[in-house]
Structure 1
Amino acid sequence: MAKRQLVLEDGTVFIGEGFGSERVTTGEIVFNTGMTGYQEVITDPSYYGQIVMMTYPLVGNYGINRDDFETVTPFIHGFIVKEVCDTPSNFRNEESLDHFLKAHDIPGIQGIDTRKLTKIIQKHGTMKAIIADLEPVAEELAEKVRNIVLPTDQVEKTSTIKPYVVPGRGQRIVMVDLGAKHGILRELTKRNCHITVVPHDYSAEAILRLKPDGIMLTNGPGNPKDVLVAIEMIKQVLGKNPIFGIGLGHQLLALACGADTEKMKFGHRGASHPVKDIKNSKSYLTSQNHSYVVREASLETTDLELTQISLNDNTVEGISHKLYPAFSVQYQPEASPGPEDTNYLFDEFLNMIKKNQVKNEEEAYA
């Protein structure tokens, strides 16, 4: 494997070996602490435009299989590991990680000190980076990286272009695709829901015309304040249908209700983040991937209430509306990868829908 370099915007240089695509790539560098689940991480649309580093030292040991994809097309810009396994061994393995990244033109670099890189990001925060050959001077690359303007259209790039239907005989759910993972569809279809997936910029009028029993706001990449069209849509459907938001959908629900969001120093990314439910005093292990968070103080002037917090840093992990049937969580209850402790939230969503239907029927006959 050819030698390549990873250069951070602060001028820090790491020399390693390239794998995957040989092209030059730039992006925001982030780290994921999961021990497994690299295939789901690579294919999670929420990582759009980012260079992802896995902190676990050996990656690729069980290869790539047909079942663990979270989207058809991976959107990451680069992949960093301590060591990539060239000889994966697993009964589901169909190709190596290196072969998969080559097929999707995603550059990777291995053999660098990932512990040192993690500490740099924890100390200085998320920063821009570049993976390139050894020929360019590192100082020139660092200057180039500093001048890069990060994209603001991540949701547009990862959302579906046209609506489509996943048939079912149960509750009719409109799923607003903000960069959705397949795991959300799996959980809804498991519960026999009839799902209509619509683009991120679908209007409130068009959504309500579909006569949904409930509305799902999915995960997705980027700054929630860049998705103004979705915020306006949520304002118009709030109170007319039960709403369940996940990840970016959670942040957008908060913004639509008058709360605020902010970017974290280096975010939450991994498969075992502890979260506490304030109402039932229970704690859960969750899968997380987010750079932005809802500001707890901003909830005070809204009709939202805090329902769950992170046990690592006390940041907001869950909210619910005091007047309308709407709630959301920052983490990924569909897991993929990670613990499935919070799958029950999909059942709570469907129970909320049933209660709302009963209420509407009682009001109609009153």
Structure 2
Amino acid sequence: MNRTQEVAQLRVGYQRELADGTDRFHGPKSTTCPWCGSSRLRTRLRTTDLIQRKPGTFVLDQCRDCSHSFQNPRLTAEGLAFYYRDFYDGLGAAGAEMLFGRKGSRKRYEASARALLPFGPSRRWLDVGTGHGHFPEAAGTVHPDTVFDGLDLGEGVDEGARHSRIAEAHRGLLTELAPKLEGRYDTVSMFHYLEHTTDPRAELTAARTVLAPGGHLIIEVPDPESAMSAVLGRWWLPYFQPQHLHLMPLANLHRALEELGYTVVATARREPHIAADLIAAAALLLNRVLPTADDPWHPRPPNDLQRKARKAMFWSAVPALVGVYGLEQLLTPLLRRTRFSNAYRIVARSGAA
């Protein structure tokens, strides 16, 4: 079955789901901050799905007291399932494989893995939100004596095991699987995972459960305090609506870890920066103005004229995209050393100092 035939089959189900609109995918709007409980909120962002262009509008509110940003109203479990479908798996599997398996991503994974070297060897490592297992595969070159397992909700984690990127696949939620994995791991990693979760504190608690005494938790997340978020606005990729439910300032996450019994042993903003803000913004803007692709969440497939127009507009924009990419690579050494860095890392040891 080719993609056109697959899309045609999937369109029936998608249109049935969308017949009742998208409001039902959202829970009730919160009047308080889920991080500190303050009622002093402001709207930080209102946007649509700029990547897949699935229907719906999404709002990020920010707490005026602790600066935590969160999707409000938040997607329900049904809504999350709808918007994640065909992103990392299904129709989106090939694209995800290409993105996360590319050479640039591998170098970033290896750099993240090296951040644990100062804290001694790790016998067994659990990568939470592992996707298709690309991080463990790369990290194995840095930690050759470590056994890497992966945990994720999607079928990609099973694919990672089949390709021997991970030794053991755990499919499900960390918060539900943690009791069965208690004390099993010396290291737990969460790379651009925590911002996707409905309850980040519960995830941190679950990570402490699966860690052996003195084990380490390493986290990398988008930095909501990045100056680039103000420059690019809704086109700043780390907003990543509708998937990112929480954007946590470093100080907030640092404090939460210590309150949960961890000892923070390292933080970094320079190295975790991902050199993609400008090129991603350009790509999102282009995607917004292009005629829609043949995706099943659109009511009907594009006609021949729309297909040809999309192809012509895309290829005419390629030189500009190449220029933006080159500019970003030149600026990256400066950006990562300033408040324009778009991510941060925390390493914490299980147990008080």
Same fold (TM over 0.5): no
**TM-score normalised per structure 2:** 0.32
**Of Structure 1 and Structure 2, which has the larger fraction of its residues in strand?**
1
**Of Structure 1 and Structure 2, which has the larger fraction of its residues in helix?**
2
Bigger relative contact order, structure 1 or 2, given CA contacts below 8 A and separation 6+? Answer: 2
